[in-house]
């Protein structure tokens, strides 16, 4: 429920809805809404068809009057022929038929269209912006290194971190799953988008996430590193440990990016993650434009600046902190594995583990 991700624990299911109340039925309704909506280009075709009909009727009256003067026996046949060959059916029907075909084709590619207006923006966009964590990556696969700076040992710090991250849908949380201790349960959990998670474990208040958030106003640790590429654990505003977490690229991402560049799109990565990890992913994908340590507000401002300087941008994201920028984008794409809020803010939903459908869709 509400974005929960279960990786390796048994699940006991209680059926609470069937038929039209199921998630599958909801997806079908989204698809039907997309097919039934009237995008701007279809409305423009309808308006053009109305003016076209009026113009043809006026021209037919002129032709009929002229032929009544020249040869009355042929006036009716020629006027009728003119009306037949200038019938606006093709103009009025071609656009919605093309849109319906495009939506069906995108569905076969693995993209569910929820707003048909996205088709126009998808064709006109000259730039595509990607979130990193959970979008370009499958989520951190492991905690590469733990560095303690308090009284607790590494194993205890990892167990506390796992308790705090247990209820989080963020991909970083999956790196701590293997360190869970059933005896440690976190209470009063509060997740702050783009910052981290706070909660109470064994009666003490802990925070895990960015260094600034974890310390919550405490003094910076005296350590040989600045925490730029680390997830920090702190208690009562004092640091306990820093965790280095590895990322794993989605399969085939480099080939997808090469195809997007071949289509003439400029590619940019806008991430809330550390600069070091963003640079590593950008280099692996051959991307020259990227930004790190962005808050949700920073991402939104960056996208608005991009859209003011060009025809439009495609935004691809998956998390809660991506929802505002997805809603503001000219066309937005959320991943099936993303949060419900991101999906409800997006124009298209991408199914599957890879990104190969994106260049095909464009």
**In 86-175, which ranges are continuous DSSP H helix?**
89-109, 118-124, 154-165
- Of the candidates 117, 131, 247, 322, the residue annotated as catalytic is 131
Indicate the DSSP class of residue 353.
Answer: S
Please name which of 174, 114, 120 lies closest in space to residue 342, comparing C-alpha atoms: 114
**In 110-233, which ranges are continuous DSSP H helix?**
118-124, 154-165, 211-215
For residues 295 and 194, the answer to whether their CB atoms sit within 8 Å is: yes
* Two tokens, residue 316: 């691809």
Q: What is the rounded distance in angstroms from the CA atom of residue 220 to the CA atom of residue 55?
A: 75
Mention every residue, 6+ apart, whose C-beta is less than 8 A from residue 93.
none
How many Cβ atoms are within 10 Å of 319's Cβ, its own excluded? 25
Q: Pick left, alpha or beta for residue 303 (phi over 0 → left; psi -120 to 50 → alpha; otherwise beta).
A: alpha
289-291: strand order across its sheet: 111-113, 348-350, 331-335, 313-317, 127-130, 266-270, 289-291
Q: Is 131 a catalytic residue?
A: yes
Please identify every residue annotated as catalytic: 131
């Amino acid at each position: 429920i509400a974005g929960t991700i279960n990786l390796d624990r048994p699940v006991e299911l209680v059926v609470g809805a069937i038929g039209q109340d199921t998630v599958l039925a909801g997806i079908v309704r989204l698809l039907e809404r997309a097919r039934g909506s009237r995008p701007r280009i279809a409305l423009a075709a309808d308006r053009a068809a109305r003016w076209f009909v009026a113009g043809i009727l006026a021209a037919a009256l002129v032709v009929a009057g002229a032929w009544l003067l020249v040869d009355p026996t042929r006036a009716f046949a020629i006027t009728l022929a003119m009306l037949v060959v200038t019938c606006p059916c093709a103009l009025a029907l071609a656009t919605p038929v093309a849109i319906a075909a495009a939506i069906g084709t995108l569905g076969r590619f693995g993209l569910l269209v929820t707003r048909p207006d996205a088709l126009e923006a998808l064709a006109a966009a000259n730039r595509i912006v990607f979130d990193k964590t959970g979008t370009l990556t499958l989520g951190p696969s492991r905690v590469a290194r733990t560095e303690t700076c308090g009284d607790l040992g590494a194993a205890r710090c990892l167990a506390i971190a796992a308790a705090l991250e247990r209820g989080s849908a963020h991909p970083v949380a999956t790196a701590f799953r293997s360190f869970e201790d059933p005896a440690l349960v976190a209470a009063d959990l509060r997740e702050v988008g783009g910052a981290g998670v706070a909660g109470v474990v064994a009666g003490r208040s802990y925070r895990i996430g960015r260094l600034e958030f974890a310390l919550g106003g405490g003094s910076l640790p005296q350590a040989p590193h600045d925490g730029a590429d680390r997830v920090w654990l702190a208690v009562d505003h004092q640091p306990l440990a820093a965790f280095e977490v590895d990322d794993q690229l989605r399969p085939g991402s480099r080939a997808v990016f090469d195809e997007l560049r071949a289509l003439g799109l400029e590619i940019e990565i806008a991430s809330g993650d550390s600069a070091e990890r963003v640079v590593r992913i950008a280099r692996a994908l051959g991307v020259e434009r990227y930004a790190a340590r962005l808050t949700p507000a920073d991402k939104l401002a960056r996208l608005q600046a991009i859209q003011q300087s060009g025809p439009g941008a495609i935004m691809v994201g998956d998390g809660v902190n991506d929802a505002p920028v997805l809603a503001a984008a000219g066309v937005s794409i959320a991943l099936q594995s993303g949060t419900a809020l991101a999906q409800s803010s997006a124009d298209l939903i991408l199914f599957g583990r890879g990104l190969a459908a994106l260049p095909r869709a464009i």
